[in-house]
Amino acid sequence: MTTRVKTSVQVISMVTAQRRRLQFSAAAENAEIDWEFFSALRLPAEPLAYDEGLAVRRFGRQLKPGEIGCYASHFAVWRAFLDSPAAQLIVFEDDVIVDWQAIQTLARQDLAAHGIDVLKLFATHPIDAKVVKYKLLSDHSHLLRLRGYTYGTQGYMLSKRAAQALIEHSKVMYMPIDWAMSRYWDYGLPNYASFPFPLFERQGQSSIEHSQSAPVSATPSSAAARFAWKLSDRMKRLRFDFAANDRSQFGPPSDAGQAFLTDASSGTR
């Protein structure tokens, strides 16, 4: 197979999570695309730093140990991607089952050339979105423009520009990684999603430990600071959403014609 762009596919997983690695590898046995495991971290490494006080003032509590490890792992994979020859990055966590045919089609595309720098492939909660392109990969696959927070980092696709922007705006850790990634109004790149999602999450706790307990640390003064920050942040997001216009690259949504992204449109033979 030939591709127009080089796509790196990284699966974040703890080195010790041998059972999960075996499960993922078995499910990906017939994938016609190269992928590799990326060793998850437990603690942040420079230039990433955790600010507990800011977490309390803006997120409402300090982060849990698993949230810190998850954030550090995703941040590290973005940095490795920037140092690689790949033009775009697909990230999975090790607790997902993937529709590899859909991923292979996406991996052959230069998504940034279509104005798509951040493409979410999964969400853990209902999302606020609008259809900007019907028939993305097939008659029953569509492109959504996301509004507000989209929870979950089980699968997504980034351009080099998106990875650079995320790194620059996420060096100080004060909220979970999926919250930080969702803040398109901070780093200036719209968030999109492929729907229906081309993967789903296995039931059970991820090996990169999303959910350990941690005490809530909020005081009246920190709660007031958080409320003021949320008001100004909400206005910033509304301004970004109001100014956004997807029609220049996608045109008016129309449920007719051929799929937008296909092997033929990527130049694959």
Q: Which residues lie closer than 8 Å to 155 by C-beta, 6 or more apart? A: 90, 91, 92, 93, 96, 98, 120, 121, 122, 197, 198, 199
In angstroms, the Cα distances linking 213 to 68, 111, 175 are: 12, 38, 15
How high is the pLDDT of residue 204? 64
Q: Which residues contact 113 (CB under 8 A, 6 or more apart)?
A: none
What is the pLDDT, as a whole number, of residue 218? 66
What is residue 259's predicted lDDT score, i.e. its pLDDT?
85
pLDDT at 268: 42
What confidence score (pLDDT) does residue 134 get?
Answer: 94
Q: Give the model's pLDDT for residue 208.
A: 56
Contact, 143 vs 131, CB < 8 A? yes
For residues 166 and 79, the answer to whether their CB atoms sit within 8 Å is: no
37: its two tokens: 């495991």
Q: Both tokens of residue 252?
A: 């008016």
The predicted structure's pLDDT at residue 252: 77
pLDDT given at position 246 = 78
Q: Which residues pair with 143 in a beta bridge?
A: 133, 194
Q: Give pLDDT, residue 160.
A: 98
Mean pLDDT by groups of 10 residues along the chain of 269 residues: 77 96 96 96 96 93 96 98 98 97 95 96 96 92 96 98 98 98 97 97 65 60 88 94 81 80 54
At 209 the pLDDT is 52
H or E, element range at 93:
strand 88-93
Alpha carbon of 248 to those of 68, 90, 114, 252, 262: distances in Å? 38, 25, 10, 9, 20
Q: What is the dihedral of CA 90, 114, 139, 197, to 10 degrees?
A: 30
Cα–Cα dist 57/227, whole Å: 9
Predicted pLDDT at 101 = 95
Residue 215's pLDDT is what?
53
Rounded to a whole number of angstroms, the distance between the first and last alpha carbons of the chain is 7
Nearest alpha-carbon partner for 37 in 46, 45, 50, 28:
28
Q: What does the pLDDT read at residue 234?
A: 94
The reply to whether the predicted model has a pTM over 0.85 is yes
d(CA 48, CA 172): 6
Residue 110: burial class (beta carbons within 10 Å; 0-12, 13-18, 19+): middle
